[in-house]
Amino acid sequence: MNLDDFSDLIERPDGGVRRDAEERRERLIVPPGALGRLDELGEWLSAAQQSVPVKAVEQPRVVLFAADHGVAELDVSGRAAGTTHELVRAALDGASPVAVLARRFAVPLRIVDAGIDCDPELLPESVVRHRVRRGSGRIDIEDALTAEETERAVRLGMAIADEEADSGTDLVVLGDLSVGGTTAAATLVAALCGTDASVVTGRGGAGIDDLAWMRKCAAIRDALRRARPVLGDQLELLATVGGADLAAMTGFLLQSAVRRMPVILDGVVGAACALVAQRAAFRAPDWWLAGQVSGEPAQSKALDRMALTPLLDHGVTVGEGTGALLALPLVQAAAALAAELPERTPVTADEDAEEPAEGQDADDVKVLDAT
């Protein structure tokens, strides 16, 4: 497998359709610019769908990739190592923020076990059947995955993207469920952006104290030393300092772009995977939206590099796809406005001409019209 092959498979959203959407927007009864960024979103969707007017987003889906990361053993997370299965169970039981919102918005929620460190019997077979391995290696001292596992994980993400596209999903809210995932993600971003560990180290979705932040920074520093020699090969980079969920999400993002299926990214893990995918296919980010500002410095770095501006900034740090799902109604609203607002009725020359009123000459009418 060579991720660079995706560069020839991925095309940009249709520029001609986008220009047609922009021209239609100029004709709507609401003045241009009055809807702010909603105009831009509607035109982006038109280009992605190759449709003017834009079609409604009717079959969105939340897809969460789940895995445990060995680096969590260093107490770099607000949660105990190996407890991702608890996050998954909460989501399945409808007791997590993303599950509550998915239920409220009537959006199906899909969880894919790429590398959870638990007995398969603890979770439904529909979740665990795709598992690549149980947990990942400690990226500060060893590879996260073998080369074979990395390829399996990428192909898993590609297969999930194909399944969603084939089932009629017209937009994906992409997130992750992991313990230690932000450490691996920050390492990827630091390596690809050429920055130091301290610049990308954040507090994670669960929040950590200063001592844990220092441990996390040290782990990223050590992992960076291992990542820099393999920067030229995206698969080797994912194997060295990534994880099964990150590799799967990278494959998912690339194949979604191939299938012309738009994706809303959530937090730093999705942003890191998107940055890896961009290195393989520079057109791929044209198919993604950044849902929200997560507060993680590595996310900001990655989004800046890809020129993606988040839709929301509400201080939501919980992760798990929550912030991206909050942005979904905004995207749906943009589609509805672009499709359903009527166009201005063109004024014909006959309608524009007025007969002089009694006691008024034609010159008076012209003056009034000019005024």
Asked whether the beta carbons of 38 and 334 are under 8 A apart, the reply is: yes
Q: Could you check whether the bond before residue 53 is cis, i.e. omega within 30 degrees of 0?
A: yes
Distance of CA 332 to the CA centre of its chain: 15
- What tokens does 277 get? 């995918």
Asked whether the beta carbons of 55 and 49 are under 8 A apart, the reply is: yes
320 among known catalytic residues:
yes
Q: Report the alpha-carbon distance of residue 112 to residue 316 in Å, rounded.
A: 23
Q: Which of 149, 151, 296, 320 is catalytic?
A: 320
Provide the residue count of the chain: 371
Q: Report the alpha-carbon distance of residue 6 to residue 182 in Å, rounded.
A: 26
DSSP 62-89: EEEEEEE-GGGGGS-SSS-TT-HHHHHH
Distance of CA 143 to the CA centre of its chain: 26
SS3 state of residue 330:
helix
Q: So which residues are the catalytic ones?
A: 320
